[in-house]
Amino acid sequence: MIFVLKTRRHFECKKWIISPFWFHYIILLAITSESLTMSGSRTIQHSKRARVPVIRYEDNWVCVNKPAGLSVHRSANSRRNETTLRSLLKRQLARKIFPVHRLDHRTSGAILFAFDAKTTANIHRRLAEGSKEYIALLRGIWKYENKKVVIDKPLKVEGVMKDALTEFHLISSSSFCEMPCTLVSCKPITGRTHQIRRHAYQLGHPIIGDSQHGDSRVNRSWRNVRGLDRLALHCLSIQLQNDSKPCIAPIPQQMIQVLQQDIMFWEEIVNLDPRFMLHEVDERGGTYGRNYKNRVIE
């Protein structure tokens, strides 16, 4: 702990007596329990800095598991000094990153970043030819005879109507606690703003936790009774063109805990899709850049 004093008289600092030095600075180095406590608290604060889980790290791009409630990058609606996924990841990987696509602020799951502009364009093209799969918890019991329903309805984007197509696949339904819900897999064929959320509303099954397209009273009940304080939408998988290995983002723990409240519902889900049992993944090997594939593992 460092004290810098300018004095004409004696000062007493706990066990130390500081002699007078006329208009001079006195630098006193002292280690006390208080300084250790303060230092410890700073260390703990630093260690609590959010780390973004890395799903897959390649030479020129990376796939991470975005937490809910975090914007990908700053926008006109961003608050001053708001932390973004891009800024966190740039600091974490210690290199420039370029978002290939985006996820809504309240949506969690797999998202791709490239390390240079050329790769960004390449991965964006491969993603357009590939596919994305989301998991959503919808309000109400599934009311359709078929397990697969396709919503093909144009959506207005910045004042212009654009084609939009989303596939919904039934996984399971539940009426636990007299709060009916349906878990579905969603595959957006096009990529419009809030496409899955808006098409789920048109489907007649709004996504739970969606304050813009859902029911605030229902959302409040799920928050107070079931403990779901987020939008129940998660990007589970990204499959790039000519890539045999999909990028899978494990389901967030909060969503898992909500689903597990109904045991029979949960058992049916994991039997139909074992990916719900995947544990959290975080490639913590560091930044390897272009030497990633050739690095020497000690």
Say what the pLDDT of residue 234 is: 98
**How far is the C-alpha of 79 from the C-alpha of 61, rounded, in Å?**
28
> Rounded to two decimals, what is the model's pTM?
0.79
**DSSP state for residue 288 in the 8-state scheme:** -
- Note down pLDDT in tens along the chain; length 298 residues: 444 444 444 444 444 444 444 334 333 334 333 443 343 433 333 334 578 999 999 999 999 999 999 999 876 666 667 789 999 999 999 999 999 998 999 999 999 999 999 999 999 999 999 999 999 999 999 999 999 999 999 999 888 999 999 999 999 999 998 899 999 999 999 989 899 999 999 999 999 999 998 889 999 999 999 999 999 999 999 999 999 899 999 999 999 999 999 999 999 999 999 999 999 888 876 555 545 555 544 3
Active site residues: 104
Say what the pLDDT of residue 15 is: 43
**How far is the C-alpha of 125 from the C-alpha of 88, rounded, in Å?**
25
Say what the pLDDT of residue 159 is: 87
Say what the pLDDT of residue 244 is: 87
What's phi and psi for 151, nearest 5 deg?
-100, 115
**How far is the C-alpha of 181 from the C-alpha of 223, rounded, in Å?**
14
For strand 165-174 and strand 181-188, is the pairing parallel, antiparallel, or unpaired?
Answer: antiparallel
Apex 272 CA angle, 271 and 273, nearest 5: 95
Number of H helices, E strands in the chain: 7, 16
Both tokens of 117, joined, read 């502009």
CA nearest to 19, candidates 32, 31, 29, 7: 7
Q: How far is CA 140 from CA 203, 229, 238, in A?
A: 11, 18, 27
3-state helix, strand, coil split of the chain in percent (to 5) is: 30, 30, 45
**Residue 64 near residue 97, CB atoms below 8 Å:** no
Say what the pLDDT of residue 66 is: 96
**How far is the C-alpha of 186 from the C-alpha of 97, rounded, in Å?**
28
In a 10 Å sphere around its CB, with 0-12 CB exposed, 13-18 middle and 19+ buried, how is residue 126 labelled? Answer: middle
